[in-house]
Structure 1
């Protein structure tokens, strides 16, 4: 019956092409409308993503400067060799970036999960705490960095608070002026500022787990830890993958806190790859070298993201 109907339809269309013409016209108009709606986003992506990436790739193999009377000259791999061999600040920024990510990723993800579990309880007042934990996320990171810079001063609120707890035995520390404390201070700030965002993501994942699974586990006599291990954590697997990838990319791209609070100091103890690339490329006008550092950063982030995706893939 179906084959016969299709043949009959084709025969009818051939016999009456005028009847099939409006359908083709409507389909063509639908395609034009779809392309028109996609065009603005595609144009923005082309102008602000694709073209800059291609330009950075090309400039990384030249000695281009931001303002120079001389035309850029092709130098091959010299910029990349310089980064790994002749630029100790680059090596230090690479180490600082990885140290920051190694600490921030597990701590921020774990703390966000703990907060999500707490505010997911069906108790009065949990909405208030969700808002309180999320306020730093919607506050400008520039404003947050400026406030914390004042808090970290020798006579700031942090030293005053610790001095009160120790009954005057605490010796005030210039947190951001000491190479041994500057990066840990920025790590604490960064975790505090962004943990609310990942708490919300964890919370959304928790609320997708059916309550029936917990009821079945309780009927089987499962403890709270067993419910978390056998019900909650497996149900949070997709959320966990998303959070790990987003936190890692954000941690590797650390810039604003460094730019506002320390300018990479003291003694390059807080310099990161992104800050080093911006400083070389714009402030020191070494555009070609800054582009090379950016390309190295892109390859590192891509490699880490692929490794994470491979390690967290479904074994089935």
Structure 2
């Protein structure tokens, strides 16, 4: 009897140990450090309670800017990255020549490193030799040329375009997998009943993709909240801190300014925001799908 009870635990023990060592205990230690003022090398830590959290909200304008940028990035990801992925999936789910090739072409950027994508797009945005400004000049649109990454008003949107190019492949593949599980019978019945294409999409495709949407929205939101590498590679958080997000500002506070307490507090903010958004959504959608 005892062996039967212990057997499942023996199977999950390796994964559980890795989880506790790599994720759980470091997270608890980070939470602990967020209540101290410490530069990472001093032998003693000064306990400051919740002062790090108060300073971030009340005195750190860059943190508030980073939080705003993260929210904008999340909304943009849900609207443009997920929307474009769904559109491509609908187009590439049709019978057409070369659709497998096109699927690979659109998915390929997703497997690239964020730093590689950042380097390539940074050159494309180069104000004098970059591809984008050169195309605008050849098209006679010289007035549209711009120092895209050097202007605070456009830098974040320019980086987001690069992220859109890289990230659209994942939702496209997930939506394709969902579309291919939908049987043809409902569509045939809809045609017999005289339904338009947009009606079939609204009343058949979208409801039957509900579980796929759960996965896509959750992964898209998580990715948008922890975005870091492409921003660090293209702008480093500048110009004038206009492209800072929570992850990049956490890095700067922790490793550039040696403010371990503030960096840990930012990481806790990031975790809490992600949990507050993701957990209720997943619970609601999964409960709704089982009704």
Count of aligned positions: 288
Q: Which ranges of structure 2 fall in alignment gaps of 5 or more residues?
A: none
Q: Does 1:61 align with 2:29?
A: no
Q: Distance in 1 between matches of 2:57 and 2:155?
A: 24
**2:104 aligns with one of 119, 131, 136:** 131
Q: Distance in 2 between matches of 1:251 and 1:274?
A: 10
Q: Does 1:185 align with 2:158?
A: yes
Cα offset, 1:169, TM superposition: 3.0
What aligned pairs does 1:31-180 form with structure 2 within 5 A after superposition? 34-69=8-43, 71-154=44-127, 155-165=129-139, 167=140, 169-170=142-143, 172-180=145-153
Post-superposition Cα deviations, 1:148-168, rounded to whole Å, max 9, x if no partner, equal 111111120111112222x25
Cα offset, 1:240, TM superposition: 1.1
Q: Which stretch shifts more, 269-278 or 167-176?
A: 167-176
Q: Distance in 2 between matches of 1:175 and 1:231?
A: 42
Q: CA RMSD in A?
A: 1.8
Q: Distance in 2 between matches of 1:37 and 1:308?
A: 31
Post-superposition Cα deviations, 1:110-142, rounded to whole Å, max 9, x if no partner, equal 111100000000122111110110110111111
CA shift in 2, pair 1:171/1:123, >3 Å: closer
Post-superposition Cα deviations, 1:69-98, rounded to whole Å, max 9, x if no partner, equal 4x1122111001100111111111111111
Q: Distance in 2 between matches of 1:103 and 1:311?
A: 22
Partner of 1:297: 270
Partner of 2:211: 238
What aligned pairs does 1:210-221 form with structure 2 within 5 A after superposition? 210-221=183-194
Q: Distance in 2 between matches of 1:163 and 1:208?
A: 47
Q: Distance in 2 between matches of 1:37 and 1:314?
A: 32
Q: Secondary structure at the match of 1:177?
A: coil
Q: Distance in 1 between matches of 2:105 and 2:91?
A: 13
Q: Greater Rg, structure 1 or structure 2?
A: 1
CA shift in 2, pair 1:33/1:309, >3 Å: closer
Cα offset, 1:311, TM superposition: 5.8
Post-superposition Cα deviations, 1:2-51, rounded to whole Å, max 9, x if no partner, equal xxxxxxxxxxxxxxxxxxxxxx6xx82x6666544422211111111001
What aligned pairs does 1:251-262 form with structure 2 within 5 A after superposition? 251-262=224-235
Normalised to the residue count of structure 2, the TM-score between the two structures is 0.93
Q: Secondary structure at the match of 2:168?
A: helix
Q: Distance in 2 between matches of 1:31 and 1:173?
A: 66
Post-superposition Cα deviations, 1:262-302, rounded to whole Å, max 9, x if no partner, equal 11100110000111111101222111111011111111111
Q: Distance in 2 between matches of 1:215 and 1:171?
A: 48
**1:284 aligns with one of 257, 262, 269:** 257
